[in-house]
Amino acid sequence: VEFLYCDLASMKSVRQFVQQFRAKNCPLHVLVNNAGVMLVPERKTEDGFEEHFGLNYLGHFLLTNLLLDTLKQSGTHSHNARIITVSSATHYVGKLHLNDLQSRCSYSPHGAYAQSKLALVLFTYRLQHLLTANGSHVTANVVDPGVVNTELYKHVFWVVKVVKWMTAWLFFKTPEEGASTTIYAAVSPELEGAGGCYLYNEERTKSADVAYDEELQRRLWTESCKMVGISDEASRLP
């Protein structure tokens, strides 16, 4: 195992990581987008993005796009390269505010977190559409790990923390259990060549209706390219 440093809250760090990774001339068969914060107080990343949107979504958006060429070169007809993005059931109540993606007008930790997780689902579906249109041997799927007992809950109210402490053994998954669907998406032969899926408990299931809005997917993609400073070549595709 070899580790390379990458801070998903910093676009500079993401670019430096990709540069270091490419210098190794290694193939890339699986990319798991799994970093995240939840219910943090209102604050910004070093690039000026609202933290949920900047770290949970934009960092992964830039990372994936910068690694796409390597993924495409690594995938084959019989063994596609795979992109797995970890979202959350919270996306079902999320609303994407294209005119206020930074939650400047009215900040809510719950709303900002849900929006970032909805954005990840929209991004995955649009990405798979583009990969298919280009004939790439790469698939993109999105995963809901369930409610997992991790430090992600450190910013919730103290009452919730007490309830979590008392009931985690009954209602929460362990980190190992929470990782199972991500691992399934990464290695299962059943998903060879299958993309654009929303997975929960190692099964394909339906995401929020709004996530299938192709116009919303396109608009979010275009806006995301502007925010992270990359070319929106996809805008020329249907």
Q: Which residues are catalytic?
A: 113
With a CB cutoff of 8 Å and minimum separation 6, the contacts of 118 are 87, 91, 94, 95, 96, 208, 210, 211
Integer-rounded Cα Rg, in Å, for the chain is 17
DSSP 25: T
Characterize 142-158 residue by residue with b for buried, 16 or more Cβ atoms within 10 angstroms of its Cβ, and e for exposed: bbbbbbbbeeebeeeee
Q: Among 66, 91, 59, 74, which Cα is nearest to 26's?
A: 74
The percent of the chain in helix, strand and coil, each rounded to the nearest 5, is 50, 10, 35
Structure tokens at 132: 């298919």
3-state SS assignment for residue 140 = strand
- Other beta carbons within 10 angstroms of residue 104's beta carbon come to 10
